[in-house]
Amino acid sequence: MRYIDAFNHFFPKQLWDKMLSSGGNAKDIGKRMRGVPAIYDIDERLRVVDRFDDYTQVLSLGMPPLESLGTPLETAEYAKLGNDGLADLVARYPDRFVGFLASLPMNDPDASVREAERAFRLGANGLQIHTNVNGAPLDEERFFPIFETAAKHGKPVFLHPSRASDMPDYKTEDKSRYEIWWTFGWPYETSAAMARLVFSGLMDRLPELKVLAHHLGAMVPYFEGRVGPGWDQLGKRTSDEDLTEVLGRLKKRPFDYFKDFYADTAVFGSRPATLCGLDFYGADRVLFASDCPFDPEKGPGYIRDTIAVLESIDMSNEDREKISFRNAQSLFGLERV
């Protein structure tokens, strides 16, 4: 089976070096990234990719979000370095990297639109946007032109969760402990961002926009009952404002919007999670992805485990091809072979 890995991460050398030499927030890039050579060393990354037959990647930058790394002027430079670097890797290694997702300086929405346009001219196959912009929700009107630009060009938006330990789990504390902010916080982040896009009406304003939620749609498939009949009763639990009019503004049932998202198989090799996500989204809206290189082996582990999980699930060959590579071809506008 052919596999196109739709969501994995890499830092081009110029961007990586610039971040490490920066005097700002970028110099504090996490120890996890520094300890994973396949996130920044192209030779190591090629060795990982070459361990698998008929396997290619669509590249995107790793954490943290560029908008958290400095002023709008600084983050615009980071975005340019990142997008130029990923485009160069696709051009140099087309048999390993078949495309890339552009990153934007989201702390400057106007500059983000300009960079998205430039990146699409470079050949970017979509955008990677994080689930909040330095703490601000994505449905703020200032960000709408970014989504509008993606829709105009027929390019998908991939939502990547972003949350750190400075968001506590309890009101009495000032930080999240035990990496709860990552294990449970990231799926919540993605789910909350999806809900804001739905209830704000953005999906109605841009019906042609395609959005993929990382990690198989986060919490949504497991909480189908809450997303469905639960949110059909929107406003019944709220006494300080009238939310019933929100349902009246939407053109569809909330549940139907959540079914319109795309999702990927990057659930760290969990078979139950994969079954749940596939059952919710169906074969037409799930793309193979590994989240490489953040497995304990620092590269090949999640690729191998995710392939093994998919191969263990009984499905038609047509559905298997859709998930493994055909959906990626269609969503990214890749040449069909």
* pLDDT of 32 above 80: no
Domain of residue 314, CATH code: 3.20.20.140
Predicted local confidence at residue 10, as pLDDT: 98
| pTM, to two decimals | 0.96
- Residue 76 in domain: yes
Predicted local confidence at residue 27, as pLDDT: 62
In tens, the pLDDT along 150-161 reads 999 999 999 999
Mean pLDDT of the chain: 96
- Residue 148 in domain: yes
Reading the block at residue 205, the tokens are: 């304003």
Predicted local confidence at residue 197, as pLDDT: 98
* pLDDT of 337 above 80: no
Q: How many domains does the chain have?
A: 1
- Residue 9 in domain: yes
Cis peptide before 293 (omega within 30 of 0): yes
**% of residues, the chain, pLDDT over 70:** 96
- Residue 337 in domain: no
Angle between helix 72-92 and helix 13-21 axes, rounded to 10 deg = 150
In the chain, the amino acid numbered 122 is L
In tens, the pLDDT along 167-213 reads 999 999 999 999 999 999 999 999 999 999 999 999 999 999 999 99
Mean pLDDT of 271-275: 98
- Residue 99 in domain: yes
> Which structural domain range is residue 20 located in?
3-332
What is the rounded CA–CA span in Å between residue 126 and residue 76? 18
Which residue in the block uniquely carries the two structure tokens 């506008």? 333
User: Would you place residue 24 in the very low, low, confident or very high pLDDT band (cuts 50, 70, 90)?
Assistant: low
β pairing state of 55-60 and 132-133: unpaired
In tens, the pLDDT along 93-138 reads 999 999 999 999 999 999 999 999 999 999 999 999 999 999 999 9
Mean pLDDT of 39-63: 97
Predicted local confidence at residue 22, as pLDDT: 81
β pairing state of 97-102 and 55-60: parallel
Mean pLDDT of 231-243: 93
Predicted local confidence at residue 26, as pLDDT: 66
Predicted local confidence at residue 23, as pLDDT: 67
Predicted local confidence at residue 244, as pLDDT: 85
- Residue 228 in domain: yes
Predicted local confidence at residue 304, as pLDDT: 98
Predicted local confidence at residue 97, as pLDDT: 98
* pLDDT of 72 above 70: yes
The backbone torsions φ and ψ at residue 112, rounded to the nearest 5 degrees and listed phi first, read -65, -40
* pLDDT of 14 above 80: yes
Residues in CB range of 230: below 8 A, 6 or more apart: 223
* pLDDT of 30 above 80: no
Give the closest residue to 303 by CA, choosing from 89, 88, 47, 92. 47
User: Can you say whether the dihedral through the CA atoms of 147, 148, 149, 150 is positive or negative?
Assistant: positive
The backbone torsions φ and ψ at residue 86, rounded to the nearest 5 degrees and listed phi first, read -70, -40
* pLDDT of 336 above 80: no
